[in-house]
């Protein structure tokens, strides 16, 4: 039987049921003490509960077509990990909105309508292609988060770093599950690539809607300096989007596979840091 899973043998996709106490951090600008940068990640968090539900649904739809027991078990691991992420980000988002006066219904309502429209108009195969594309985006963001030279969330409160790094590590572990399912059902390269363009615009738009809403509620929407810093944070030479650009573009190569970027060392580092933090003093 042909192996459908291309996740390396040494990677195990097992959900970690973590709960994070972040309520103190969420009340302040927890990333770099900066309103835009904090709003950027908070707005990303706002997209996760509904977004990850969509990912789970679109992958699960094809579960009966998966014949490789390894990919079957990874698919279950994927759903379990995304399930815990959803739960933690739901809590994150509710606390954030109640502490800072953001409108959760407005922010999630918009996304919920878009997802409902997508589910109605797109074929299951297109939904899966979108999921694989979003998973590529989260995987390369995860790589930047756990990067050993300059871990992204070293600029954040330690409690927030713990949550985001946990999420990043699991995104990295399951980065090729949706992709392998897409390949297993015969998904073609053209649809796969165009899904990444769509996913990128959808996510960018959604996050920016969130950022504008949050800065407006914070009374900081029209401060030029905040937007200038935000621009540099995203697009300058050291900016996060500039940094992930080369790995982002890899997806458009024929024959691309997420594990062609072997990120095991970053995972090992994160795992080692976990056990250090629970060792007795
Ligand atoms: Fe996730
Ligand atoms: Fe994911």
CA of 262 to the centre of ligand 1 (A): 19
pLDDT digit string (tens) for 245-257?
999 999 999 999 9
210 phi/psi in degrees, rounded to 5: -65, -45
Model-level pTM greater than 0.85? Answer: yes
CA of 57 to the centre of ligand 2 (A): 12
CA-CA distance, 278 to 138, in Å (whole number)? 27
Ligand nearest to the CA of 87: 1
CA of 17 to the centre of ligand 1 (A): 13
Q: How many CB atoms lie within 10 A of CB 12?
A: 10
pLDDT score recorded for residue 271? 93
Among left, alpha and beta (phi > 0; psi -120 to 50; other), residue 151 is beta
CA distances from 244 to 13, 59, 141 (A): 24, 25, 7
CA-CA distance, 123 to 68, in Å (whole number)? 24
CA-CA distance, 240 to 224, in Å (whole number)? 20
CA of 108 to the centre of ligand 2 (A): 19
CA of 168 to the centre of ligand 1 (A): 8
pLDDT digit string (tens) for 134-184?
999 999 999 999 998 889 999 999 999 999 999 999 999 999 999 999 999
Element (DSSP H or E) covering residue 224? helix 224-235
| 124 or 276, which is more confident | 124
CA of 78 to the centre of ligand 1 (A): 9
CA of 142 to the centre of ligand 1 (A): 10
pLDDT score recorded for residue 274? 86
Alpha helices (runs of H) in 66-188, residue ranges in sequence order: 69-100, 104-121, 124-146, 158-173, 177-184
CA-CA distance, 70 to 181, in Å (whole number)? 12
Q: How many CB atoms lie within 10 A of CB 221?
A: 15
CA-CA distance, 16 to 24, in Å (whole number)? 23
CA-CA distance, 177 to 25, in Å (whole number)? 33
Residue 281: pLDDT band by 50, 70, 90 thresholds? very low
pLDDT score recorded for residue 220? 97
CA of 269 to the centre of ligand 1 (A): 19
Question: Average pLDDT for residues 83-94, to the nearest whole number?
Answer: 97
CA of 45 to the centre of ligand 1 (A): 10
Which single residue is written with the structure tokens 């615009």? Answer: 201
pLDDT digit string (tens) for 2-23?
689 999 999 999 999 999 899 9
Residue 42: pLDDT band by 50, 70, 90 thresholds? very high
Six token digits for residue 112: 């919920």
Ligand nearest to the CA of 136: 2
Go through the chain and tell me how many residues it has.
281
Nearest to 92 by CA among 39, 45, 40: 45
CA distances from 224 to 142, 186, 219, 227, 228 (A): 29, 49, 13, 5, 6
Ligand nearest to the CA of 132: 2
CA of 13 to the centre of ligand 1 (A): 12
Q: How many CB atoms lie within 10 A of CB 201?
A: 10
CA-CA distance, 23 to 123, in Å (whole number)? 40
Whether 1 has a pLDDT exceeding 70, the answer reads no
CA of 60 to the centre of ligand 2 (A): 13
CA of 219 to the centre of ligand 1 (A): 31
CA-CA distance, 20 to 23, in Å (whole number)? 9
CA-CA distance, 187 to 34, in Å (whole number)? 42
Residues 6 or more apart whose CB falls under 8 angstroms from that of 238 comprise none
Among left, alpha and beta (phi > 0; psi -120 to 50; other), residue 84 is alpha
CA of 198 to the centre of ligand 1 (A): 19
Residue 278: pLDDT band by 50, 70, 90 thresholds? low
Share the mean pLDDT of the chain: 95
pLDDT digit string (tens) for 195-252?
999 999 999 999 999 999 999 999 999 999 999 999 999 999 989 999 999 999 999 9
Ligand nearest to the CA of 48: 1
Ligand nearest to the CA of 84: 1
């Amino acid at each position: 039987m042909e192996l459908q899973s291309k996740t390396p043998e040494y990677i195990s996709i097992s959900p970690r049921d973590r709960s994070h106490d972040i309520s103190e951090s969420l009340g302040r600008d927890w990333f770099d003490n900066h309103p835009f940068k904090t709003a950027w990640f908070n707005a990303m968090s706002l997209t996760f509960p509904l977004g990850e539900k969509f990912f789970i649904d679109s992958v699960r739809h094809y579960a009966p077509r998966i014949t490789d027991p390894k990919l079957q078990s990874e698919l279950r691991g994927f759903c379990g990990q995304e399930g815990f992420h959803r739960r933690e980000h739901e809590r994150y988002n509710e606390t954030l909105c109640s502490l800072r006066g953001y409108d959760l219904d407005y922010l999630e309502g918009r996304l919920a309508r878009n997802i409902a429209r997508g589910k109605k108009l797109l074929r299951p195969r297109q939904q899966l292609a979108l999921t694989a594309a979003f998973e590529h985006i989260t995987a390369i963001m995860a790589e930047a988060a756990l990067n050993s030279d300059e871990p992204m969330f070293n600029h954040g409160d330690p409690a927030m770093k713990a949550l985001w790094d946990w999420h990043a590590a699991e995104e990295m572990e399951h980065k090729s599950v949706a992709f392998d399912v897409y390949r297993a059902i015969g998904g073609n390269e053209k649809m796969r690539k165009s899904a990444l363009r769509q996913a990128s615009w959808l996510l960018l738009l959604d996050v920016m809607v969130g950022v504008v809403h949050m800065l407006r509620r914070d009374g900081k929407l029209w401060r030029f300096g905040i937007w200038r810093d935000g621009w540099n944070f995203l697009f300058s030479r050291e900016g996060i989007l500039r940094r992930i650009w080369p790995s982002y573009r890899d997806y458009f190569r024929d024959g691309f596979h997420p594990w062609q970027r072997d990120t095991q060392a970053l995972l090992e580092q994160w795992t080692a840091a976990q056990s250090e933090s629970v060792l007795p003093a």
